[in-house]
């Protein structure tokens, strides 16, 4: 499965040289010997991505506005991961970088509360080459540390694999064939599905509600369907027919909030994804429905006494696992 993330490239001269809302990505070389990009490094490389956290983003700022969206972390890594591989680790430009593991954990909930005025967000990324063949890494591992207005508030790891173009095409074709090859495993909604009320998943715009109204099974388990947006390509399909990564991560977030609300009564407008561990197992074909099954764990409290609910999620397409995730939803007033 291949899924594209938010991908809006502005036309004309808006290439980051002029205008607001720019950020800096700073490379801090451990050795100046590797500073010339012509001599890629095999060791750990440190980067800082800094700038204002968005305040008018159509997805991340949609909702009651109590928090900055921790998905900004995964978005940031997603955004620069491939670039870092190509610029600083000598990965050929024709190898797309695909994330297969994303973990993050909020370490200071209070720092994520949105306040008046812009918040400065700094993400430190430490990148290490993985599985190097002939001096070219097949993947990169990132250790991430985030601070908002200089307060350290989240850490994470992410792993990226660079796939050779031919292999990538073969994988995509095989995945598409495999998901259709066994019709008896077909899994689709029994009837028409309706999106959830956006307020139930912490959003305000109906265009951003990307999971269906859930059906309940035993012990608080929920089952929902992912509903790609027709209006927002970031929450839809990529040109090669896969669901975008942003859609998958947002659907995991929404399903988590929904489950925590059903299981423990956590208020969606005050719910924050405090941790998220995702493993992507396959591509998500945009033409087939994706089911999201969730299981809430026993509710607890974090160190500051806030209610928390762990949720285990599985995304499947024709009973084939697309992604598995464990999240923790925290309620903060």
Partner 1 sequence: MGPVRFRILGPMEIEGGAGPGVSHTPKAAKLRALLGTLLVRANQVVSVESLVTELWQDEPPRTATSTLHVYVSQLRKLLATVDPARGRELLRTQPPGYRLALAPDLLDLSVFEGLHRLGREALADGRYHDAADLQSRAVALLRGPLLSDTPHGPLLEGAAAQLAEAGAAALDQRIRADLQLGRHHELIAELRSLATQHPLREELHGHLMLALYRAGRQAEALQAFAALRKLLVAELAVEPGPPLQRLHRRILAGDPGLLLPATGQGGSAAARNGAGGTASPGAPAGAALPPADPVFTGRDTALARVEELLRQAPAGSFVAVTGQPGVGKTAFALEAAHRSGPAFPDGRLFLDLQPEPGHPLPATKAISTLLRRRGVRLAHGAGAGELRDAWQQQLMGRQLLLVLDNADSEAQLRPLLPTTAGSSAIVTTRRLPAGFGGIRPVLLDALDPEEARLLFAAAAGPERAAAEPAAVRELLELCGRLPLAIRVVAAQLTARPHWSAASLVDRLRDERFRLGDLHIGELDARTPLLRAYRDARPELRRAFRLLGLLPAGPFGRAAAGAVLGLPPAETARLLDGLIEDRLLVDADRAGHQVPELLRVLAVERLDEEESPQDIGDAIERLCEEYARTAEQVSAVLTGARPGGEEPPEPAGWFTRERDALVGAVRQAHRAGRLTAAVRLVAALDGHLETHAAWDAWAETHALALDAARRCGDRGAEVRTLRSLGDLAWQQRRLEEAEEHYGLARRIAEETGQRAELSRALVGLAELRMDTGDGAAVEALLTAALAAAPDPAAPRARFDVLRALGFHALAAGDRTRAGTRFTACLDLARTLRDRRLESFARRALRTARSGPGHRLEVRPGVWRLPGPGRSPGRPFSRA
Residue 163 makes contact with partner 1 by CB under 8 A: yes
Is residue 195 within 8 A of residue 235, CB to CB? The reply is no
Q: Please work out, in degrees rounded to the nearest 5, the angle formed at the alpha carbon of residue 293 by the alpha carbons of 290 and 294.
A: 140
Options 40, 63, 72, 89; binder of partner 1; rule CB under 8 A: 72
- In the bound state with partner 1, the residue whose beta carbon lies nearer, of 163 and 196, is 163
Report residue 132: phi and psi, to 5°: -80, 130
- In the bound state with partner 1, the residue whose beta carbon lies nearer, of 3 and 274, is 3
Dihedral of CA atoms 251, 254, 257, 262 in degrees, nearest 10, equals -90
- In the bound state with partner 1, the residue whose beta carbon lies nearer, of 98 and 129, is 98
Residue 16 makes contact with partner 1 by CB under 8 A: yes
Q: Mind giving me the DSSP string for 231-294? A: S-GGGSB-TTSBB-HHHHHHHHHHHHHHHHHHHH---GGGEEEEEEEEEE-S--BTTS--EEEE
User: Which burial class, exposed, middle or buried, applies to 177 when counting CB atoms under 10 A from its CB (0-12, 13-18, 19+)?
Assistant: exposed
- In the bound state with partner 1, the residue whose beta carbon lies nearer, of 234 and 260, is 234
Using CA of residue 195, residue 199, residue 201, residue 203, what is the dihedral sign?
Answer: positive
Specify the stretch interacting with partner 1 by CB under 8 A; choose among 96-104, 209-217, 220-228, 267-275: 96-104
Residue 159 makes contact with partner 1 by CB under 8 A: yes
Which residues from 295-314 bind partner 1, rule CB under 8 A? none
Which residues from 165-204 bind partner 1, rule CB under 8 A? 171
Residue 206 makes contact with partner 1 by CB under 8 A: no
Question: Least Å distance between CB 307 and partner 1?
Answer: 26
Options 91, 98, 125, 292; binder of partner 1; rule CB under 8 A: 98
Options 82, 250, 269, 285; binder of partner 1; rule CB under 8 A: 82
User: Count residues contacting partner 1 (CB under 8 A)?
Assistant: 83
Kind and range of the H or E run holding 83: helix 71-88
- In the bound state with partner 1, the residue whose beta carbon lies nearer, of 237 and 266, is 237
Report residue 182: phi and psi, to 5°: -120, 90
Residue with tokens 């561990």: 277
CA distance 250 to 210: 8
Report residue 251: phi and psi, to 5°: -65, -35
Residue 22 makes contact with partner 1 by CB under 8 A: yes
Residue 96 makes contact with partner 1 by CB under 8 A: yes
Is residue 304 within 8 A of residue 109, CB to CB? The reply is yes
Tokens of 333: 């007033």
Which residues from 25-64 bind partner 1, rule CB under 8 A? 25-33, 35-38, 46, 48-54, 57-60
Question: Least Å distance between CB 67 and partner 1?
Answer: 15
Neighbours of 104 (CB within 10 A): 23
CA distance 144 to 101: 13
Question: Least Å distance between CB 15 and partner 1?
Answer: 5
Question: Least Å distance between CB 10 and partner 1?
Answer: 7
Which residues from 231-270 bind partner 1, rule CB under 8 A? 234, 238, 242, 244-246, 248
- In the bound state with partner 1, the residue whose beta carbon lies nearer, of 35 and 230, is 35
- In the bound state with partner 1, the residue whose beta carbon lies nearer, of 213 and 324, is 324
- In the bound state with partner 1, the residue whose beta carbon lies nearer, of 104 and 283, is 283
């Amino acid at each position: 499965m291949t899924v594209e993330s938010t991908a809006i490239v502005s036309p004309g001269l808006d290439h980051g040289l002029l205008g607001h809302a720019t950020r800096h990505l700073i490379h801090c070389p451990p050795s100046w010997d590797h500073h010339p990009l012509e001599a890629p490094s095999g060791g750990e490389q440190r980067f800082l991505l800094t700038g204002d956290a968005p305040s008018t983003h159509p997805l991340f700022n949609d909702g009651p506005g109590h928090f900055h969206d921790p998905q900004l972390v995964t978005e940031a890594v997603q955004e620069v991961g491939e670039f870092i591989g190509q610029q600083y680790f000598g990965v050929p430009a024709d190898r797309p970088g695909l994330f297969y593991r994303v973990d993050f954990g909020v370490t200071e909930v209070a720092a994520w509360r949105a306040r008046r005025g812009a918040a400065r967000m700094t993400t430190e990324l430490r990148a290490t080459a993985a599985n190097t063949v002939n001096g070219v890494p097949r993947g990169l591992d990132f250790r991430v540390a985030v601070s908002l207005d200089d307060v350290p508030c989240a850490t994470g790891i992410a792993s990226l694999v660079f796939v050779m173009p031919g292999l990538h095409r073969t994988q995509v074709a095989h995945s598409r064939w495999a998901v259709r090859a066994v019709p008896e495993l077909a899994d689709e909604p029994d009837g028409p599905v309706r999106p959830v009320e956006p307020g139930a998943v912490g959003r305000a715009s109906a265009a951003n509600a990307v999971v269906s109204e859930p059906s309940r099974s035993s012990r608080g388990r929920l089952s929902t369907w992912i509903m790609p947006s027709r209006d927002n390509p970031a929450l839809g399909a990529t040109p090669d027919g896969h669901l975008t990564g942003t859609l998958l991560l947002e659907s995991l977030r929404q399903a988590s909030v929904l489950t925590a609300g059903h299981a423990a009564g956590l208020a969606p407008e005050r719910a924050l994804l405090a941790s998220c561990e995702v493993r992507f197992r396959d591509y998500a074909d945009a033409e087939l429905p994706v089911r999201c099954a969730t299981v809430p764990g026993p509710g607890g409290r974090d160190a500051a006494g806030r209610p928390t609910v762990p949720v285990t999620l599985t995304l499947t397409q024709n009973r084939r696992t697309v992604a598995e995730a464990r999240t923790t939803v925290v309620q903060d007033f």
